[in-house]
Amino acid sequence: MALTPRLDLRQSQSLVMTPQLQQAIKLLTLSNLELETFISDEVEKNPLLDTGELSTESGEERQDDSAAQGSDEILSAGPSESEAALDMEGHTDSFTNNSLCDSDGPLDGQLGLNGASSGSGAIGDSADFENMLAAEITLTDHLMDQAGTVLSGTDLFVAQHIIDQIDECGYLQADLLELAYRLNVGLVDIQRILGVVQTFDPVGIGARNLAECLALQARDADRYDPAMARLIDNLDLLAKGALPQLKRICSVDDEDLMDMISELRNYDPKPGCKIGGGEVQSVVPDVFIAERGDKWIIEVNSATLPKVLVNRSYYSELKDGAQDKQSKEWLNECLADANWLVKALDQRQRTIVKVATEIVKQQEDFFRKGVAHLRPLTLKNVAEKIEMHESTVSRVTSNKYLSCSRGTFELKYFFTSGIQSSTGGEAASAEAVKSHIKTLIDGEDPKNILSDDKLVALLNDRGFDIARRTVAKYRESLGLGSSVQRRRQKALEGRAA
């Protein structure tokens, strides 16, 4: 058959997501801090977008229209028009919301996106904590200050490169031979300067592994004798609790071995953390939960988000000045994008509040009584209750954190599998079972360590129908050793005491 060009006409169907729909879905998955960066980029690209406070008049109108609601009222009202399958037609220009953390007085009875203000949120002449953090000395600066007093010239140059390779815990992460080749310096000189750096404060800095870190601290305390050296060289045996083997290797009796182990426990395995080699990134909650009377206050944390507005006055000025068709099309496109972004942000916040509200309703016993009362919950359960798709709930709960009186939790934390009740009652959450396992192990008698079989029996007595392999899996996920490992550990602790 000859190869010849030809034209074919084919008809097909495909589901295509519009750019606006893709943007709305993307916004659901972003945390508040990520969303702040996204909004900043959009404001730079779109001249009709502006960030700032809403006018007092519009805020007052919003407050008059929004009465205080509880979680029951917002769910019983059903999905609004603006919340139906990303079809956002509601007004958002007059939306206001202050964070619970900004409240100066008692919390208002608002739920999520209602306009009742919980406080002025004004901080006034507060301390500049960001500058205070930036002014704190880092581990690198601390070490370089010491290097400058004892080294100079080429040695100081090499020391600077060595210090740059020390992580925030105080360990050297560079290969000395590679560093010597890169700096064109002899390996002997690199080792000599590293020895100098290892004498700096804090003690144990610049070590290449845990054994070397402990050895440096033992030398500083004048406790690095041959027996201590052999003990440090066999930390793996110490972790296994192999005390008889360690006594033979170190050639010491029980009393001396316990004394050396007690000495090691006083050393710091992460000496660099004393100086604070890196900036601590704290979790910023996306949703606040607070109890007031017999109702729950659920609110999106808007303190980290700029209020996005469409600058219509600027649009009018540009529209009057636009003459050619291309300029008018570009201006109309900017206006459409700005309106869509404002609506998408409003939709995002309303969806987060609805999901958080249903989580609170489903897990109310957790918020009142603790983790032992956490119920099994799936994304499908929440999606059916709030009449949304399961994938939407999944996106909303990704990278989002909830702050309540019991602490800060990721929204995904509340979705756990269930363990059937041995008495035929309601199933229990896997996290609740883990809590019971930890409680039983923490309270066990050192002379009567609980095996996994014994834990299964005790959990069955508490109403949990659970298999031994499940108990072992949950115990390991909690970082708890087997009964043999815990028996050795408690024996070590008893002898050291």
Residues 6+ apart with CB under 8 A from 450: 440, 441, 444, 458, 483
Torsion sign, CA atoms 98, 100, 106, 112: positive
How many angstroms separate the Cα of 393 from the Cα of each of 17, 115, 352, 404? 19, 24, 9, 20
Cβ–Cβ under 8 Å, residues 355 and 397: yes
Cβ–Cβ under 8 Å, residues 75 and 357: yes
Determine the pLDDT at residue 422.
57
Cβ–Cβ under 8 Å, residues 88 and 346: yes
Residues 6+ apart with CB under 8 A from 289: 296, 297, 298, 356, 360, 367, 402, 403, 404, 405
pLDDT in tens, 71-123: 444 444 444 444 444 433 333 333 333 444 344 433 333 343 333 333 333 33
Cβ–Cβ under 8 Å, residues 306 and 36: yes
Q: Is the pTM of this model over 0.75?
A: no
Determine the pLDDT at residue 96.
35
Please give the Cα distance from 486 to 488 (Å, whole number).
5
Question: Concatenated DSSP letters for 270-320?
Answer: -GGGGT--S---PPPPSEEEEEETTEEEEEE--TTSPPEEE-HHHHHHHHH
Cβ–Cβ under 8 Å, residues 114 and 95: no
Cβ–Cβ under 8 Å, residues 311 and 50: yes
Closest CA to 21 of 343, 389, 388, 400: 343
pLDDT surpassing 90 at residue 171: yes
Closest CA to 208 of 251, 245, 175: 175
Tokens describing residue 335: 């206006």
Torsion sign, CA atoms 486, 488, 489, 495: positive
- Print burial letters for 6-35: b (CB count within 10 Å at least 16), e (below 16): eeeeeeeeeeeeeebeebbbebbbbbbeeb
Cβ–Cβ under 8 Å, residues 417 and 427: no
Determine the pLDDT at residue 497.
56
- How far is CA 75 from its chain centroid? 29
Determine the pLDDT at residue 447.
84
Across residues 286-308, what is the average pLDDT? Answer: 85
Residue length of the chain? 497
- Label residue 68 by pLDDT band (50, 70, 90): very low
pLDDT-wise least confident of 81-90, 229-238, 339-348: 81-90
pLDDT in tens, 441-460: 988 888 888 888 889 888 88
Across residues 152-161, what is the average pLDDT? Answer: 88
Across residues 33-39, what is the average pLDDT? Answer: 84
Across residues 142-162, what is the average pLDDT? Answer: 89
